[in-house]
Structure 1
Amino acid sequence: MLPHRSRLSVAVFLAPPLLLFGGGVLLPIVQSLGLSFYEWDGITGLDFVGLANYRELLLHDDVFRTALVNQLGYLAICLLLQVGGGLLVATLLISITRGREVLKVLYLMPAVISTPAIALLFQRVYSYEPVGLVNTLLNAVGLGALARPWLSDVSTVLAAVSAPEGWRFLGLYTVILYAALLAVPKELEEAASLDGANPLQVFTRIRFPHIMPVFVTTLIMATTYALRGFDIPFLLTNGGPGQASELVTTYMYKTAFTSGHYGSASAISVIIVLECLVAVGLILLLLRRKAA
């Protein structure tokens, strides 16, 4: 047990970040929860409606349900690219002896590029007229029939707005997983190899179980961030065409600042928080069952 002076020192150093977290994160969540029980246009007085905003969203709002389904698709693509891709790239970096540091910097660069710049870049990448990078590559390999306006086609737009988000943070999660892989004891890998284990078995039996705590943390980070994803989809398509790329977050923004229904928008924000909590709980539950 820490002595009194040590406990006081810990409290002094923890107090400022806790106050900032409480004021910048917890307080707005509590305010949104309270406002979600009211109907408010931002100007006139508050009108208490109880759970009416939640009932309207969950039972009668088709756009919200569409956005909820789109959010799950967006989440799946982001997790595949960020966590799955990050694990693959980190594993490849372990086996590379030359140019490793340069590759790490190149992978990490998208995370420090501004969001509007990324959106502008991918508008050019997906462009149909003038021909963008994706359609140029398809034409070059003889698949020109697959060329299309990726951000205007309802069958491709959700994947098209998800890919930039996955690419943006691929390097961040790659570096985290790469650092975890470096900490795997080499003696265990060498012993497994001497016993006849192939590289896949070394990864599944030695490396992956050893980095599981870091992998779970990375998965939770990527999941919660994807469920709160807003900026790139909003800048690329603003939820269109129709509601084909509408996310819960973009719909919340429109409900508040376009339609002026701040109570309903607050209810959506509470649902987003609940989504994140449920997703984290499911991840921990599934991994705990698998470990058992």
Structure 2
Amino acid sequence: MPSYPAAYRATEGSALDVDRAFYGRIGTENAGRHLVEQFVVPIRSGRAWTVPAGHVFRIVTIEGPQVADLNIWNRHNPRERFWASRTRQLQQAHVSTFDRLWSTLPYLRPLATITHDTLADYGVDEHGGRVHDLLGTRCDPYVNRMLTGKDFHHHCHSNLTRAVAPYGLTEFDVHDVLNVFQVTGLNDEDKYFMKACPAQKGDFLEFFAEIDLLCALSTCPGGDLSVPLWGPDARDPLEVCRPLGVEIHGLDPGLLEGWSPPEVAAYRGNHGMRLGRPDWEQDRPA
């Protein structure tokens, strides 16, 4: 059966028509970059960090397969943050090189663009699974308590909440994530499934910061997802949990020639409202 065309399609020169030559150079010309910061996120924990506009950051499987949950905000205005569902519509349900992570309304602009994905060739597996998931969201202690009757404080939602607390943010700021290195899909019953992480030691996903960013990452307590987390076969997956590395790189000015941070959305209307008049009178003549 032929596939049905996507609802949102790029046209030449539109916001969805990414400059592949530019981002391809960013992802491949390693001589034009320098390491600014490097750190490790331990198992079942979270870490937040900032990335200046025009820099890149990598998430690296330093010891082997491990999935991670990523949140992103505008460093100077956390009301502008990553919008997973719109990114899923504008890009793909599973993202890779040249896909962009879009921000919430009323800003609606790319926060980051993926410049390198060592798992780009994973494609679609025999179960319809794909990697770097936007279908699902973070695990959290509320659902866990509902399903198991037990409290656990190291779910991704909790890890991200602790990670951003030093930046003045709370769990109300934690939002739907990009599940990095995670393989997911929809089964024949249209239900969400997760599979074991295919990443090997040294794999990475790299992003170009379009604006100044605050990022937070959780090393999922499910580890590489090779162990069932809920249901009759569930057990503690501690043995398959591994740390992740994060690298931040600065770029030589020559690599950034012609680039500038994206502007916020051009729409400046008031949504059809006229100040001083009740909603039901909006379309009546003045």
For the aligned pair, the TM-score class normalised by the smaller chain equals: under 0.3
Tell me the TM-score normalised to structure 2 length: 0.24
Q: Tell me which structure has the larger Cα radius of gyration.
A: 1
Task: Give the structure, 1 or 2, with the largest relative contact order (CA under 8 Å, sep 6 or more).
Answer: 2
Q: Structure 1 or 2: larger helix share?
A: 1
